[in-house]
Amino acid sequence: MSHRRLGLFAAGLAAAVLSAVGFGLVNAPPGGAPGAPGQLAAAPAKPGPDPFGYSAAFDAEVKKLGQITPGQFAAAYPPPVYLAKPTWDYTTAKFFDKINAETVVKEHKDLQATLAKLPYTPAEIANIKRNMNTELPGYKLTPDELAAFKANGFVVSERLGGYSFGQAYYDIYTRDLPVFISSDSVLHAWHRSYDAMLAELELTYLKQALESLLGGMHDALPAAHAAYGAGLLKDSVLDADYFLAVGRSLFTDGQVPSKFAQNDRVTATLAAVKNEGMHDFTLFGRDRKMDFSQFKPRGHYEADPELRKYFKAMMWCGRTDLRVAGGYDHTGVLSSGR
């Protein structure tokens, strides 16, 4: 749907909602009384700050427990005692041979009906089964994997892994083998849902908001330079120009020009971002050492070119602190007249 049609749809939906609200205002019964026109219904009571009573229950448990040290917590809730090794041979379990097999044969749904039609010879039956059934790769363990399984009671085989939990579950299910749904797979699905929502929010709103924010501040710098550029804040205005030009450039495939002829300074920092190495620079009155290997996109940012740019710009804005509150660190005073 185009932006124009989407806007018209949103406007039409809003008009419909307002019309419905207006109709309700005119025809709502007074005080909630049914059938009386001309007045608003009484507003429902607002819930309290803790409508479900969770806070009171939590406070009661904290009061019962009191303040305890980490040592007391560990003593009250000791870790479980695990077996040093399996107490029996798991390879003797029923149906283990169905799992530890080279192949798994899936019988065709019409096989038995086909075999019942005529008195086939054993060779003919074998041929019919071979043609109708499906043979799938099994989960045969190698000698090393089997030894690890016997020693530990479990084995992790990258060789038998899959692209996702869903693929692994489906492959096991189609082989008519037992499927164990683990909690980590459920949490993984939950995380992937959150990750997808975050990526959509970043692409549709946060990226544009940050670009607009940096662009607006950068465009306002000439006026700030005219007002403060000749005084105590002269260097601060130049630093702001450099900071904003680098941030804006990370959103592009090129370089956004400096407002005050600092293109070489911006170019050097962009090269450090590209090389993903350590880089020294001065900003807001302090010498900085930045590890630009942290600017390498990862996770869901790695797969989308627009999110890669957003990631780098956010890293620049997030890792470049604005030291304006004074105080000290190992290098000295944290802020200066700049």
* 11 falls within a domain: no
**Residue 319 tokens, joined:** 């890792």
Last residue of one domain, picked from the residues 119, 148, 181:
181
pLDDT of residue 105: 87
Total number of domains in the chain = 2
Strands 134-137 and 278-283: unpaired
Last residue of one domain, picked from the residues 148, 181, 214:
181
**78: CB partners within 8 A, 6+ apart:** none
The answer on 168 and 211 residing in a single domain is no
Nearest-10 Cα torsion for 139, 145, 148, 150: 50
Host domain of residue 175: 90-181
The answer on 236 and 315 residing in a single domain is yes
First to last CA, the chain: 50
* 143 falls within a domain: yes
What are the DSSP E strand ranges found in the chain? 103-106, 134-137, 278-283, 286-291, 328-329, 332-333
* 104 falls within a domain: yes
The answer on 235 and 169 residing in a single domain is no
Amino acid symbol at 266: V
Rounded Cα–Cα distance for residues 250 and 295 (Å): 10
Place of tokens 């807001």: 284
Lowest mean pLDDT among 71-75, 140-144, 323-327: 323-327
pLDDT score of 326 more than 60 = no
Quote the percentage of the chain above a pLDDT of 70.
Answer: 82
**Residues 313 and 247 sit within 8 Å (Cβ to Cβ):** yes
pLDDT of residue 24: 37
Summarize pLDDT for 40-71 with one digit per residue, the tens: 666 667 767 777 788 888 888 888 888 889 99
**Residues 286 and 325 sit within 8 Å (Cβ to Cβ):** no
Lowest mean pLDDT among 206-210, 248-252, 316-320: 316-320
* 236 falls within a domain: yes
Strands 328-329 and 332-333: antiparallel
The answer on 282 and 210 residing in a single domain is yes
pLDDT of residue 2: 40
The answer on 216 and 124 residing in a single domain is no
Summarize pLDDT for 156-200 with one digit per residue, the tens: 999 988 888 999 999 999 998 989 999 999 999 999 999 999 999
What's the rounded mean pLDDT across residues 23-52?
A: 56
Q: How many CB atoms lie within 10 A of CB 81?
A: 6
Rounded Cα–Cα distance for residues 218 and 242 (Å): 9
The answer on 305 and 236 residing in a single domain is yes
pLDDT score of 1 more than 60 = no
Rounded Cα–Cα distance for residues 89 and 86 (Å): 7
Residues found in the chain: 338
**Residues 133 and 176 sit within 8 Å (Cβ to Cβ):** no
**Residues 244 and 250 sit within 8 Å (Cβ to Cβ):** no
